[in-house]
Amino acid sequence: MTGPPLGDLVQHVAATTGLPAPTAARLVADVVAYLDESVEQYVRRRHRELQRRRLTNDRIWALIAAELPQRRFSAPVLTQRQLRRIVYG
């Protein structure tokens, strides 16, 4: 995970934060994994998280639909029905 170009990023994080290189490498790996989610993975994860907070599905679909355009991936505009199909099949 520390080979180019991530090696440069690990060095930058270590230098700018004072973190040891192994800790900076774990941090970079965690962030990259978080940002590497597909639309489907993100929708499923957020749905579970919001359900645990006892939100209704109507509220959950609205929140997820609002969050998608702010994510790193280029997500199409999804209807509530499409969001439900990702979660429930």
pTM, entire model: 0.63
Domain check: are 31 and 61 in the same one?
A: no
Q: Token pair of 49, please?
A: 């998280």
Q: Give residue 74's pLDDT.
A: 60
Using the predicted structure, report yes or no on whether residue 29 has a pLDDT greater than 80: yes
Domain check: are 44 and 24 in the same one?
A: no
Q: Give residue 38's pLDDT.
A: 87
What is the pLDDT confidence band of residue 4, given thresholds at 50, 70 and 90? low
The parent domain of residue 82 ranges over: 39-88
pLDDT in tens, 31-77: 888 888 889 999 999 999 999 999 999 999 999 999 998 887 766 78
Asked if residue 69 is part of any domain, the answer here is yes
Nearest to 43 by CA among 21, 24, 62: 62
Asked if residue 1 is part of any domain, the answer here is no
Asked if residue 22 is part of any domain, the answer here is yes
Asked if residue 74 is part of any domain, the answer here is yes
Torsion of CA 27, 32, 53, 66, to 10 degrees: 140
Asked if residue 78 is part of any domain, the answer here is yes
What is the pLDDT confidence band of residue 1, given thresholds at 50, 70 and 90? very low
